[in-house]
Structure 1
Amino acid sequence: MASAGREIRIAVLVCDGLSDWHKTRMGDQMLWFPRLLNAASDRHFSHLNLKLMFDRYDTFSGQLPSSDLVSTYAACVITGSKANAFDQDPWIQQLKAFVLDNHERTRMIGICFGHQLLAEAFGGKVGRMEGGWESGWADVQSVGDLGTELWGRDHIAMMFSHQDHVEVTPPGFTVLLSNNRAPNHSQVMGDTCLSVQGHPEMIASDVSAIVEYRTVVSPVFDPVWAAQVQAGLSQPVDDVFVGAKLLAFILDGRKGMKDVR
């Protein structure tokens, strides 16, 4: 008889409500994160027979895991958002308070906005990047001994879509990845918090839709620059590898990350 599998419960703290335009072209967060982490589980953790289970919380509507449920989750994944992590909206302040109150009860994983929110919550600073948006394919490099030890590669390629970045890394966190656009592309605090600025959960067509929207539907991108971004989306990315590192941290903290090659 086949084993039922080891259940791993993950709370997806959704930080943005997508328009119908976006949903018809790219789905939403409850497609992206199960897709990424299940692919990572199949490729890197098949021997563990994991059964990943995902619960959605729309943080922008005030939804957060109740106190009695927090410890039942292996991790909370804080998603991207069009909001700014330094905004004063009540839901953003509530999310920061939730992270501070619960990061020792369940692991926190931050993606893009989630990366920046963790920085702001713990005393760092987020601001606009010089030179405008970083969108599409980009390469980041490991930083220092810990960055090399945990990520295990000198260079990692991901999809990106952000105009803000972590300017000041919060106390207790160590920068793991960087590039010439932003000094902090990944950070870790002990075995409780790990975040990345990129979007490993998004595939090329997702990012293409975002670029199209910001070029044609709600134009903020220069069309010539946007065309260059679109042309670069066919380059290979390390999304499943990054997903495996995130899942490894969810399962076993920094030690787990070191075991993923």
Structure 2
Amino acid sequence: MKIGIIECGTNRPEWAAYGSFGSWFPPLLAQAGVPMDYAFFHAPDGKLPDDPSVCDAWLLTGSPASTYDNAPWQRRLSAFLDQVIGRQPVIGICYGHQHLHQMLGGTVEKVPDWGVGIHHYALKQRPDWLPDTLAQESSGGFHLIALHQDQVTTLAEGSTVLAASDFCPAAVTTIGDDVLTFQPHPEMAPAFAAEVYEFERQRIGNADADRALAELDGPRNVALAARWMVAFLQSRLNRRQHHD
């Protein structure tokens, strides 16, 4: 399985030691125990392939951008995804989650409060591609790092909410058969999240920043999220092979 990782933003130079937005995903997905190959593309620089078939599936990373910026690179990314969706599976994380919902008819808006710290997302629905053993492990939902002020406030048509919280009603979703999205960040290290919370402290607010920083030592269901992603990709790709 070859995954095309589309970086939707660039890390700040002072945080370069933490890696790039795309570099965090191979170690995350490796926790699912399935060998994969990766190719990396940087959307803000216009570096997208001419032919989506160079990869079996696609993953969109987070970004400091907002989907409603409607920058040229975001429009080019949507044009590329128009070629992919319905033909290959796609996963969107944070910004990627928002971009996919917006381009498919949903709405993304800035909400008054920031989602920061480790949030709990309760399981709302089991997708048909989730194996029984994984479904049992998922009964308690997900504890994952949050870092966002934008949210999907209207779902794209054909969406299903799989996990949610009171703060984030569309935390884990599918759109149709071939798109899986996560608003939280299973790939993000607590140390990096702490850097960003401190950087954004003034906008987040001292009380919420302090609470979020204190939560970062808590348990997270990172491997569980990775196994969900890989189960989704395997199911969609196996189905397409049978249809072919």
Q: TM-score, normalised by structure 1?
A: 0.83
Decide whether the 8 Å contact of 1:147 with 1:177 is kept in 2: no
Query: Residue deviations 1:163-207, cap 9 Å, x none?
Result: 011101111121111111121111113431100101001121121
Residue 134 in structure 1 maps to residue 126 in structure 2: no
SS of match in other structure, 1:164: strand
- Per the alignment, residue 88 of structure 1 pairs with 70
Tell me which residue corresponds to 1:226: 209
The Cα offsets for residues 75-120 of structure 1, whole Å up to 9 and x where unpaired, read as 1110001111122101111112221221123211000000000100
> Does 2:88 align with 1:106?
yes
Pick which of 144-153 and 80-89 moved more: 144-153
Matched residues in 1 for 2:110 and 2:238: separation? 33
Measure, in 2, the Cα distance between the counterparts of 1:147 and 1:178.
18
2:49 is the counterpart of 1:57: no
Which residue pairs with 1:10 in the alignment? 3
Q: Which runs of 4+ in 1 moved over 6 A?
A: 147-150
CA RMSD of aligned residues (A): 2.2
C-alpha separation in 2, matches of 1:214 and 1:244: 31
Structure 2 stretches lacking a partner, 5+ long: 240-244
- Asked if 2 retains the 8 angstrom alpha-carbon contact of 1:37 and 1:244, the reply is yes
Contact 2:129 2:231 in 1 (8 A): no
Q: Check if 1:143 corresponds to 2:135.
A: no
3-state DSSP of counterpart to 2:199: helix
Determine if contact 1:99/1:121 at 8 Å carries over to the other structure: no
* Distance in 2 separating the partners of 1:221 and 1:157: 20
Cα distance in 2 between the residues matched to 1:208 and 1:127: 24
Aligned residues: 234
Q: State the distance in 2 between where 1:57 and 1:148 align.
A: 28
Provide the residue aligned with 2:16 in structure 1: 23
1:208-250 superposed Cα distances (whole Å, 9 cap, x missing partner): 12112223xxx42323321211111011000111011101111
**CA-to-aligned-CA distance 1:17-50 (integer Å, 9 cap, x gap):** 11211212x2222431011011222xxx4xxxx2
Q: Separation in 2 of the partners of 1:106 and 1:66?
A: 15
- Cα distance in 2 between the residues matched to 1:255 and 1:205: 37
Residue 79 of structure 1: aligned partner: 61
Give distance in 1, aligned partners of 2:145 and 2:191: 11
